[in-house]
Structure 1
């Protein structure tokens, strides 16, 4: 199929459905063509409603579950991949709002109150995950109101939501790189294929050569290409994905540490312990006891 224009590139998403509105509200299920590694000039406030899996934002890899809430900045590549069984479909997985810098900048010239949002928007360039359960529950209600309203009412709910997010102190910044390093339209389709392939196979033995071959590249070229596009080398990317999976298993299952090690794709225990310690600053068993301690504290509140 001939390439008609740059805009049709699957990597850069042109939001042409603003239809004169200041913000776009969307919801979609999984699988969906919207689920891919992509970026756009809009900010994206993204609430997961259903399913669990891995989130990729800039060079960050982590986990998501129902009621996790993220905000990504302009041109920061992102993707949420659900861990779904064969043929499993989630009819509504996400609720999201997209809005641009232009709207808020020009708006704050007229309404000085909008300056309150500046620190939040600056943080969004690295991607933010909000952690406060009360805030997330309120955000979900406001997103539902945004979904069911139009015009100034919708805008009103949006600003109430943004003010709450700006006041939230319980959050985590995610990526160490901001947009400009990674946002290259030409590469994103290929990086998408690479990330999807890695995601399907990281729990087994997976070599850089195998992924390079899958993409029809030489290993040397793939290695350079991947590091530039994903913000991390292949080995580190895979290790982070495996450690993230291990955290999930340590928190949510009774598998012994050895089981967690193999289940998350590591082939020997000492390598697993070393990588885990490197990325999390503690051993796998300390991580597990910390999670249990936190859950106990939460239940006592």
Structure 2
């Protein structure tokens, strides 16, 4: 999946910030990046999101900040694309804001070091939680409906204040992550990622995927790791474990069924990778969810 540069605020009246509400049968699968930071609140939808080198399942009430020029995509579960009556819906509210333009404006009124430090940290991307998540999503929904310019600026300032002060978040991308995608790439990554996202629950052979984009195994492994900063096996297992974490939020779901429903060929193999990626066993992970 080749990320492309997107022009988000170009041509807008102020070019500083804007909001967007998406309501459709499914989200666009376009893998892209842009100079603007992006806060995305998933009102309704499920699937897999890829942000930089982070691959996780997402669901309703997911609140994520994507930093400047970090490739990202929200890809719905395959049920969304095959539903004939569109019972599945995808709704999100997004705020885009240009960090450099924000700093230029606010620097006229005082020191902006705290905000500048936050924009730098935002390149690690964030998943919000707790009180900060509640406050941000409420302000975001209010901002998306507001038409008065002064009120919109006030709401934006409140959101930026919370963002620059809160510790209620988890960082998503690795400390050393950099955008290594090349615009001269063709659509090979698009083919690979969509195939993984749609087929992770069954066996995926490296040889088959390499053949899909007309590469031998060795060339494919180098190509894939250069683009994702993960080996192919690591990437597929993270997609599977991310889906397992989503299933563990369903109290009626039996842990013993997880391995095979997520594409692992044995329970022991599943438990090994789950603990490696999440730092706990599936049962321990569910217990933490219950207590939190």
TM-score, length basis structure 2: 0.88
Task: Compute the displacement of 1:259 (Å).
Answer: 0.9
Paired residue for 1:171?
Answer: 169
8 Å Cα contact 2:28/2:75 also seen in 1? no
Work out whether 1:14 is the aligned partner of 2:7.
yes
Aligned partner of residue 277 in structure 1, secondary structure = helix
Task: Compute the displacement of 1:136 (Å).
Answer: 2.7
Task: Compute the displacement of 1:188 (Å).
Answer: 7.3
**Larger relative helix fraction:** 1
Q: Distance in 1 between matches of 2:96 and 2:200?
A: 31
Aligned pairs for 1:178-197 (under 5 A) are 180-187=178-185, 189-197=187-195
Paired residue for 1:217?
Answer: 215
Higher relative contact order (CA 8 A, sep 6+): 2
After the TM superposition, which of the residue ranges 210-219 and 59-68 deviates more from structure 2? Answer: 210-219
| CA 156–189 in structure 1, closer or farther in 2 if over 3 Å, else same | farther
After the TM superposition, which of the residue ranges 74-83 and 196-205 deviates more from structure 2? Answer: 74-83
Count matched residues.
285
Q: Distance in 1 between matches of 2:194 and 2:87?
A: 17
| CA 229–23 in structure 1, closer or farther in 2 if over 3 Å, else same | same
8 Å Cα contact 1:47/1:70 also seen in 2? yes
Work out whether 1:82 is the aligned partner of 2:76.
yes
Q: Distance in 2 between matches of 1:256 and 1:33?
A: 29
CA deviations 1:144-191 (Å, max 9, x no partner) are 332232533322211111112222211100000566333422337432
In structure 2, stretches of 5+ residues that fail to align are none
After the TM superposition, which of the residue ranges 56-65 and 18-27 deviates more from structure 2? Answer: 18-27
Task: Compute the displacement of 1:118 (Å).
Answer: 2.5
| CA 215–27 in structure 1, closer or farther in 2 if over 3 Å, else same | farther
TM-score, length basis structure 1: 0.85
In structure 1, stretches of 5+ residues that fail to align are 1-8, 295-301
Work out whether 1:41 is the aligned partner of 2:35.
yes
Aligned CA-pair RMSD = 2.3
Paired residue for 2:258?
Answer: 260
Paired residue for 1:298?
Answer: none
8 Å Cα contact 2:129/2:168 also seen in 1? yes
Task: Compute the displacement of 1:211 (Å).
Answer: 1.7
Work out whether 1:136 is the aligned partner of 2:129.
no
Q: Distance in 2 between matches of 1:188 and 1:19?
A: 34
After the TM superposition, which of the residue ranges 57-66 and 28-37 deviates more from structure 2? Answer: 28-37
Q: Distance in 2 between matches of 1:126 and 1:29?
A: 28
Q: Distance in 1 between matches of 2:21 and 2:192?
A: 26
Q: Distance in 2 between matches of 1:31 and 1:231?
A: 32
Work out whether 1:54 is the aligned partner of 2:48.
yes
